[in-house]
Each structure stands twice: as structure tokens, then as C-alpha cells.
Amino acid sequence: MFPLTRADSFAQRNDDAFDAYGTYPLHQRAPHKDVFAEGVQHTQQPIVTGTSVLAIQYKDGIMMTADTLASYGSLARFKDVSRLHPVGTSTIVGASGDLSDFQYLQSRLDQLVTDEFTHADAHDLGPAEVHEFLSRVLYGRRSKMDPLWNSVLVGGFRDGKRFLGYVDLLGTTYSAPSIATGYGAYIAIPILREAVDGRQDKLSESDAKAILHDCMRVLFYRDARSIDKYQLATVTADGVHVSDAQPLDTSWGFAEGIRGYGAQTQ
Amino acid sequence: MTSIGTGYDLSASTYSPDGRIFQVEYANKAVENSGTAIGLRVKDGVVLAVEKLIHSKLLVSESNRRIQTIDKHVGLATAGLLADGRHLSNRARDEAASYREHYRSAPTLQFLVDRVGLYVQAYTLYSSVRPFGCSTILGAVDETGPALFIVEPSGVSYGYHGAAVGKGRQLAKTELEKLKFSELSLREAVMEAARIIYLVHDDAKEKDFELEMTWVGSETNGVHLPVPQDLFNEAARKAKEALENFE
């Protein structure tokens, strides 16, 4: 109620109950709600995924392998996808984890290489530079709480030197004579360290091929997200070469002797 | 020049009464004062060559390049103001990168030429800017095969079998017209390109020059690269020999 005349206002001066300015109750904001909390979502899990990547150093350079399966959960969704990507003339990049994130990385790397090429200044990117670049991109994204869900191997051969490095969705990096991602880190690494580490300078191309082939077969037996088809990439002084997809030789005769599962009665 | 003093040549946004834009014609003059640039389109590729005039002995050799790489498969040679050429090549690179970003494939040269042409033309519309003082020759091998274009200061672009801009363009065109582009191999085109550049160079008037040559095609796996040193030397040697026999 607003005082209309001077007399009214005098009259109401002693009316303690009257609150001319509406000071009570205290104004309260609506409870704070982040309107974007549900609008912007960050990657919380990979969707279409690739399994292990293995790579080793050998006499002439580095060799990398990955199978050609892209899984959708436990479904073997795409069976002929390449997870090995050449970058420039002396580097190979292989990825496990989310394949759409890997495709994003592929396009970032292609842009980078083209950009570098158009400078035409006789400099180009080698494996060490590509590895550093990827580590900064992946670490940057994890720091935004929006990681690129991959474990990536970078291998290469330049100026007579081998390079083999790892970087993952957290931006963690390391180098070693033999590296494996995913399931391979548990199953292939013991085999690879036994066969490769300390012997890098002696291993021939066919030795390296045989070692990786063996590991891929063991992984196929044990890893439920794998397939019996894989690619091999080599990087040597002659450049990068990625093979066509090739089948794994496997034998399942032992299955006959297994008792305790399935339909057998005895 | 009858146009001088009439007031119609002060701005690129003003026509003369007979429908010309003098600022654009002056830009063409800037191109005519520059060392010659040529391009040859043959059945399996494109060769670009430039007569780069050396105005000082103090310059580092092979500096101030006039042939640039725009994308893996695209080369760009300029005649005219060097800095304008570099600005245009930067623009062309952005266009190529943007095309790749959008369509995830290599741009055709026709696309790049259209975009660069549009950009150059925009600089003929306003009194606040000056038209580009350079003509550019763009060469590439794309999904349509070998391609060669010129973009002029007015913004118009044409496709060519053989292209020439700059000081010696008249003589260069006469020589280009003698060639059978459908029969030349890429290597032969390199020889011809070097020969023409040496031929059009007027050493009575001009100081030294450097030959710049790049190619793209079957020999380079579709990538735009400088002509390799041994082939370059051979082409330059033969060009000098041809010059002696010519006179």
C-alpha cells in the first residue's frame, strides 16, 4: 500500500508492520543450475574400437602390425578397416581405441604434413616430431576433460635412426624397442621383450615378421575383440610400406579334446 | 598515356567514359615489367618455369622464389609484384586447405582458380584497395588430369595448353604455339620450358637471371616438386646450346 498524501505518510510512520519497500522476505535467486551440464557432453567411453597395435624395432627400421577389425562393443562391426596410417615419408602411426577419434587424428596429421610440404623449405616431419605433436594434442584434450580415446604407436626411420614411441589418451609417452597397446600390452609384451629387446640390431626383416606374426596369432586366440586378418607396416631407409590385409594361420584341432563345456556328453 | 590527368585512373572503383578501369590496366603494366613466367600442359603433367631477374649480386641464390606450392598437387608461378604473388599464394593455400577440410579430398585446380579469381576480382571493386599487380599461372594434376590456368589482375581466368606472362610473354607465346602439347612427354616439356626461358631473356637489357622450374605429373607421382638437379642442369645446358644455334 503506497502513501497517497503527506497525512497518510505521517500516519503510517509508526506502523512497524508496513513494509513499503518490500524488503522481506530477502530476495533469493533460483537454485543455481548449469544449463550446459547436459548440453555439452564429453567423451566418456569409446564407441567403435580397434584392439591391440604391436610394434618393434629391428635391424633395418621398425615394424608395426594391427588387425583390421573395428568392433562396436562386442560386435565385430567392420572387418576390413586399416588402423595403420603413414605420415609423410618416414613415419607410421597405428592406433587402438576409438576409431572415429583416430580418423580425426589422421586428418589432423594429413593437414600438418600438407602444410609443412607447401612451405617447400626442404624440411619435413619425422617420427619424433609426429610423436611430439600427437602427445601435445592428446594431452591438450585430456586437459579439457574431453580426451581422444586412443593408445597410439608412432614408429619411423630417419637419418639412419629408428624411432618407436607410445602416447595414450592421457598424454602419457614412452619409448622402447618393443611396444604393444591394449590387450597386447598384457599378452604380447612378454613375448616381444623376450624376442626383441637387446637384439634390435640383429633381427632381420623375416625374423621381425615371424615374431609379430606369432604375437598376432596368440592375441587372436586370447583376445575376443580381434580378428584373424592383419596388416604389417615397415619403415626403413626405403620409406614407409603398409602391406595388404593378410590372414592368420590358426589351428583349432585342440578344441576336440576339450571337455567340460558345450554339448558333449562325455 | 592519354588517361593520365583525366581523373578516371585514380580509383579501381571508377570507370572511364569508354568503360575501362585504368587501375586494372596499370596493374597489368606491373606484370609486364616482371621476368617471364611460363607453364606447359602436356599429356602426363605440367611444367612451370620462371625467369627470375636478379637485381643485385648480393642476393642469396635461389632466394625470393616465384614458384610456390599450394597443395601437394598444385603449383603457382607469379609474374609482377613479388609480395602480391605471395599474398595470393597464401590465399590459394587457405582455399585448398579449406576444401580438404570440407570435402576430405584434393581440390581440383578449376575450383582453386575460381576461388582465387573471385578474390582477385574483389580488389577491383573498391576505392580503398589496389588491384593485384601480378598474374598467376596455376598448374596441377588433379582428378580431371593435367590442368593449367592464368588468373589476371582483373580476376578473369582462362585454361591453357601453354601459358606465358611477364616481360617476354609475346616471344614465349610464339614459341609455345610451335609445340605439340598432346605429343610431348613431361621430360621433353621441361627441356622446352628451359629453352623458352633462356630464349626470351634479353641479356642486352637485363641483368642476370635465375631459372626456376617445377613440375607435377606422372614422373613425380602427382606431387608438385622442383625439377631434380640433374634434369634441371641438362635442360639449362641444352637451352644455352639452343640459344647459340638460334642466333
The reply to whether A23 falls in a domain is: no
What does each of the 247 residues of chain B score in pLDDT, given as a tens digit? 667 778 899 999 999 999 999 999 999 999 999 999 999 999 999 999 999 999 899 999 999 999 999 999 999 999 999 999 999 999 999 999 999 999 999 999 999 999 999 999 999 999 999 999 999 999 999 999 999 999 999 999 999 999 999 999 999 999 999 999 999 999 999 999 999 999 999 887 777 999 999 999 999 999 999 999 999 999 999 999 998 886 6
Give me the percent of chain A exceeding a pLDDT of 70.
92
A124-162 tens-digit pLDDT: 999 999 999 999 999 999 999 999 999 999 999 999 999
In whole angstroms, what separates CA B115 from the centre of its chain? Answer: 17
Number of domains in chain B: 1
Q: What is the mean pLDDT of residues A170-186?
A: 97
Instruction: Tell which B residues from 85 to 144 touch A, by Cβ distance under 8 Å.
Output: 93, 97, 100-101, 104
Please give the Cα distance from B63 to B59 (Å, whole number). Answer: 7
The reply to whether B9 falls in a domain is: no
Are the C-beta atoms of B138 and B12 separated by less than 8 Å?
no
In this predicted complex, what is the ipTM?
0.90
The reply to whether B39 falls in a domain is: yes
* Candidate from A107, A114, A119 with C-beta closest to B72: A114
**Taking CB atoms and an 8 Å cutoff, what residues of chain B touch A103?**
none
A96-107 tens-digit pLDDT: 999 999 999 999
The reply to whether B162 falls in a domain is: yes
pLDDT value, residue B243: 87
The reply to whether A191 falls in a domain is: yes
The reply to whether B16 falls in a domain is: no
Instruction: Tell which B residues from 49 to 68 touch A, by Cβ distance under 8 Å.
Output: 65, 68
**Taking CB atoms and an 8 Å cutoff, what residues of chain B touch A111?**
97, 100-101
Would you list the DSSP string of A21-84? T---SPP-PPPP--TTTTTS----S-SEEE--EEEEEETTEEEEEEE--EEETTEEEESS---E
Whether A114 and B104 lie within 8 Å, measured CB to CB: no
Compare all CA atoms of chain B with the CA of A112 and give the residue at the minimum distance: B97
Whether A118 and B65 lie within 8 Å, measured CB to CB: no
Whether A114 and B65 lie within 8 Å, measured CB to CB: no
The reply to whether A194 falls in a domain is: yes
CA distance, residue B73 to nearest chain A CA (Å)? 10
Are the C-beta atoms of A153 and A179 separated by less than 8 Å?
yes
For residue A187, what is its C-alpha cell? Answer: 599378452
State the CATH number of the domain containing residue A140.
Answer: 3.60.20.10
Whether A111 and B97 lie within 8 Å, measured CB to CB: yes
Range(s) of the domain holding residue A138: 48-235
Exposure b/e, B69-106, CB count within 10 A at least 16 = b: bbbbbbbbbbbbbbebbbebbebbbebbbebbeeeeeb
Residue A12, pLDDT > 80, answer no
| B72 at A interface, C-beta within 8 A | yes
Instruction: Tell which A residues from 118 to 137 touch B, by Cβ distance under 8 Å.
Output: 118-120
Range(s) of the domain holding residue B235: 22-246
**Taking CB atoms and an 8 Å cutoff, what residues of chain B touch A110?**
100
| A114 at B interface, C-beta within 8 A | yes
What's the per-residue H, E or C state across A137-167?
Answer: HHHHHHHCCCCCCEEEEEEEEECCEEEEEEE
Whether A114 and B69 lie within 8 Å, measured CB to CB: no
The reply to whether B1 falls in a domain is: no
| B73 at A interface, C-beta within 8 A | no
Mutate to test the interface with A, among B69, B91, B103 (most CBs of A within 10 A): B69
Which amino acid is residue A77, in one-letter code?
R
State the CATH number of the domain containing residue B151.
Answer: 3.60.20.10
Sign of the CA dihedral running B110, B111, B114, B116: negative
* Candidate from B68, B71, B104 with C-beta closest to A114: B71
Other CB atoms within a 10 A radius of the CB of residue A68 amount to: 21
The reply to whether A56 falls in a domain is: yes
Q: Which residues contact residue B156 at a Cβ distance below 8 angstroms, ignoring those fewer than 6 apart?
A: B117, B121
Compare all CA atoms of chain B with the CA of A106 and give the residue at the minimum distance: B104
| B226 at A interface, C-beta within 8 A | yes
A28-42 tens-digit pLDDT: 777 777 777 677 777
Please give the Cα distance from A192 to A194 (Å, whole number). Answer: 5
Residue B40: strand pairing partners? B47, B162
Number of domains in chain A: 1
pLDDT value, residue A1: 47
What's the per-residue H, E or C state across B99-167?
Answer: HHHHHCCCCCHHHHHHHHHHHHHHCCCCCCCCCCCEEEEEEEEECCEEEEEEECCCCCEEECCEEEECC
Clarify whether A234 is annotated catalytic.
no
Whether B70 and A107 lie within 8 Å, measured CB to CB: no
Please give the Cα distance from B209 to B66 (Å, whole number). Answer: 12
Whether A120 and B70 lie within 8 Å, measured CB to CB: no
| A107 at B interface, C-beta within 8 A | yes
Catalytic residue, from B36, B78, B124, B136: name it.
B36
Nearest to B191 by CA among B247, B147, B242: B242
Catalytic residue, from A23, A43, A89, A91: name it.
A43
Please give the Cα distance from B176 to B174 (Å, whole number). Answer: 6
Are the C-beta atoms of B107 and B71 separated by less than 8 Å?
yes
The reply to whether A256 falls in a domain is: no
| A117 at B interface, C-beta within 8 A | yes
Please give the Cα distance from B197 to B36 (Å, whole number). Answer: 7
The reply to whether B10 falls in a domain is: no
CA distance, residue A117 to nearest chain B CA (Å)? 7
Please give the Cα distance from A81 to A103 (Å, whole number). Answer: 11
The reply to whether A28 falls in a domain is: no
**Taking CB atoms and an 8 Å cutoff, what residues of chain A touch B65?**
120
| B238 at A interface, C-beta within 8 A | no
